[in-house]
Structures are given as C-alpha cells and as structure tokens.
Structure 1
Amino acid sequence: MNKLNILTFPDPRLRKTAEPVIDFNDELKSMASDMLYTMYEDKGIGLAATQVDIHKRLIVIDLSEDKSSPLYIINPDYEILDDTLELSEEGCLSIPSFRQEVKRAKKIKLKYQDLNGLDKELTAEGLLGFCIQHEIDHLNGKLLVDYSSSLKRNRIRDKLLKLKDEKK
C-alpha cells in the first residue's frame, strides 16, 4: 500500500467534479486500498478520491475504532429520507485543524456500487450519514469551508497558505 498525498485547501484541484468509475478492475482496488491506508495514517474516518487528486467517484469510510469495517463507496448517489437538518461538527483531512458546524440531512438512502461493480443500497443516519454527505460534497467540488462565511474562509485559506510556506 502507498500513502497518497492529501491535497489541502485552497488547492484548486479540490474543486474538480469527479467522474463516474467505469472500470471495476485491479487498478481501482489498488487505488481504494491506497486511499484507505492514507486515511488511516492521517487519522481520518472518510476520504474522497478528489482529496488525493484522483477525480473518480470513489469514497472510503471506516468509523470503527479498530479499523476493521472499511466501506468502499463507488458512484454514490443519495436521497434524503428525513429532511430534518441536524448540526454536525466536522473536520476534514484537506483542511487541517479546522472544525465547522454543518447542517446535514438527518437520514439518507445511499445507492452506490462496491469494488466489484455490484449495486448496493444502505440507509444511513448519525455519523455515517454525515460522513457520506461530507465525502460526496468532495466529489462534487464542495468543501467544508463553503459552509463558512467568506471572511472565515479567507482567514482559513491565509492560515493554511502561511503554514505551507513555513514548511518549504
């Protein structure tokens, strides 16, 4: 497994809309495995392919404490089952040390494909539902900072650019 480089805000590649996965092959499985490894190494619970500069509709999620329940979500689409909005405090591997409260649908029905291209469905709420909605935002070029005011978004951008310059 390879650790992939996670893009950080304000990298413009994070704004690209991901393309559907067509080929369900060993390359896809390897890519998903590398994404999962990267997510675990960076202490995340979800990672969208867009975040590692792969513009395919692929997400990995694992909410388990012991890293034993990976979920591979390919070509996801969801419908809202309960349009009650709940506040979710979220972080993002592409925006280090930033947290934002976001209002998300309470309950969703996810349709997706697995690594073999088989159609799947699941109903999600709570942390899993929020995580799925967050990662699908990434596939659509939307970031956690987009739920902030432009003033806050600019401060975050400036802080992350300064940190990046200090690392050079």
Structure 2
Amino acid sequence: MPVRPIVMIPDPRLAQPAADVTSFDAALNALAQDLLDTMRDAPGIGITAPHLGLLHRVVVIELPDDPEGVRIYVNPRITWSSDETVIHEEGSVSMPGVSEEVERPARIRLGWQDLTGAAHEAEADGLLAICLQHEIDQLDGIFWTRRLSKLRRDRLHKRYEKMRKAGGR
C-alpha cells in the first residue's frame, strides 16, 4: 500500500476531533495498511488517521520488541487511568525532529474495535499505555504539545520552526 503524505503542524486538522468509524470494510483495511506503511517510513511507533488528514478514529501502533507486533485500534476510548503517573519522552510524525518529556497516567484501561468491528477491552502500562494516550489524544484533537506548560510548548515550537527553516521544509 502507498506511503501517504503526513499532515504537519500547524495544520488545523490536527486540532479537530476525529469521527467514529462506522464502516468496517475493505477501505478501512486499506487505511490501516497505509497508516502502517506511512508510520514505518516516517519512522514512528504510532500514527492516527488524522496524521494523514483523515478525521477517522483509527490508530496503528508498532512498538520495538513487542511480541504482539502491529496493533490496530478502531474507535479507541480510555475508560480508566491510574493516579500514578510516569514521565516519558514524546514526539510526533507531524512534528519530526523534536521531542519533550510528558507526564501521563502510568496505566490505562481502554475499549476499542478491531478491523472487523468486534469490541475489545484491555489494560495497558509502560510504553504501550503512553503511546495509546498520545494517539487517542490526537484522535480527540489534542496535539501532544498541549500537554506541556506554555513555556515548554513555546520553546519546543520555536526549536521546531528553526529546524524546519534550516531544513528547507
């Protein structure tokens, strides 16, 4: 499947909530494959349909050394999160080359559907929990930098703009 262009910050589509998927068909399967190919090409470990400019609630995650391999979540929703938090370095395929530490709940429970529409529920911790929260935020129209203080967010955006201009993008 084709590697698609990634929508870059400050594209307004990255601040819009994505709609629930209602058709579990060949087009959804093709989108999931395109997301995977685009994420691997970027490279990244998580991507959403909004990263491609499509406002659908689809997430693809592929963590290093994960025995589960590629994980696809359709219409994911966090149903519980722990009071305990962790701090982890985050970045985005829509803002490449910069990252910053973000504090998030250490564990979550979520519900989602697979590509056939079957419902699932599970708990996650570690890097998977962080990635899921990051990507579900994106589905909700919350770009990850909004989880930073205004000062840290402004500094990060200035650093990104400087890199982007130097790189000619």
User: TM-score, normalised on structure 2?
Assistant: 0.89
Q: Measure how far apart 1:4 and its partner are.
A: 1.1
Query: Any runs of at least 4 consecutive aligned residues in structure 1 with deviations exceeding 6 A, and if so which?
Result: none
* 2:26 alignment partner in structure 1: 26
* 1:94 alignment partner in structure 2: 94
* 2:168 alignment partner in structure 1: 167
**RMSD across aligned positions (CA):** 2.1
* 1:138 alignment partner in structure 2: 138
In the alignment, structure 1 residue 43 sits paired with structure 2 residue 43? yes
* 2:113 alignment partner in structure 1: 113
Residue type of the alignment partner of 1:47: I
* 2:12 alignment partner in structure 1: 12
Contact 2:98 2:160 in 1 (8 A): no
Change in 2 beyond 3 A, CA 1:11/1:156:
farther
Distance across 1 between alignment mates of 2:100 and 2:80:
22
Extract unaligned runs of 5+ from structure 2: none
Q: Any idea what SS the aligned residue of 2:44 has? A: coil
* 1:129 alignment partner in structure 2: 129
Equivalent pairs counted in the alignment come to 168
Residue type of the alignment partner of 2:83: D
Q: Measure how far apart 1:160 and its partner are.
A: 4.0
Distance across 2 between alignment mates of 1:48 and 1:164:
26
Comparing 24-33 with 85-94, which one deviates more in the overlay? 85-94
Comparing 32-41 with 96-105, which one deviates more in the overlay? 96-105
Q: Any idea what SS the aligned residue of 1:77 has? A: strand
Deviations 1:72-120 (A, max 9, x none): 1000111225221111111211111111111111111111000000011
Contact 1:46 1:62 in 2 (8 A): yes
Q: Measure how far apart 1:165 and its partner are.
A: 8.7
* 1:58 alignment partner in structure 2: 58
Q: Measure how far apart 1:155 and its partner are.
A: 4.1
User: TM-score, normalised on structure 1?
Assistant: 0.90
Comparing 48-57 with 63-72, which one deviates more in the overlay? 63-72
Contact 1:9 1:95 in 2 (8 A): yes
Residue type of the alignment partner of 2:137: D
Matches within 5 A, 1:61-72: 61-65=61-65, 69-72=69-72
Extract unaligned runs of 5+ from structure 1: none
Residue type of the alignment partner of 1:42: A
Contact 1:85 1:104 in 2 (8 A): yes
Distance across 2 between alignment mates of 1:130 and 1:136:
10
Q: Any idea what SS the aligned residue of 1:145 has? A: helix
Residue type of the alignment partner of 1:167: G
Q: Measure how far apart 1:20 and its partner are.
A: 0.1
Residue type of the alignment partner of 2:100: Q
* 1:157 alignment partner in structure 2: 157
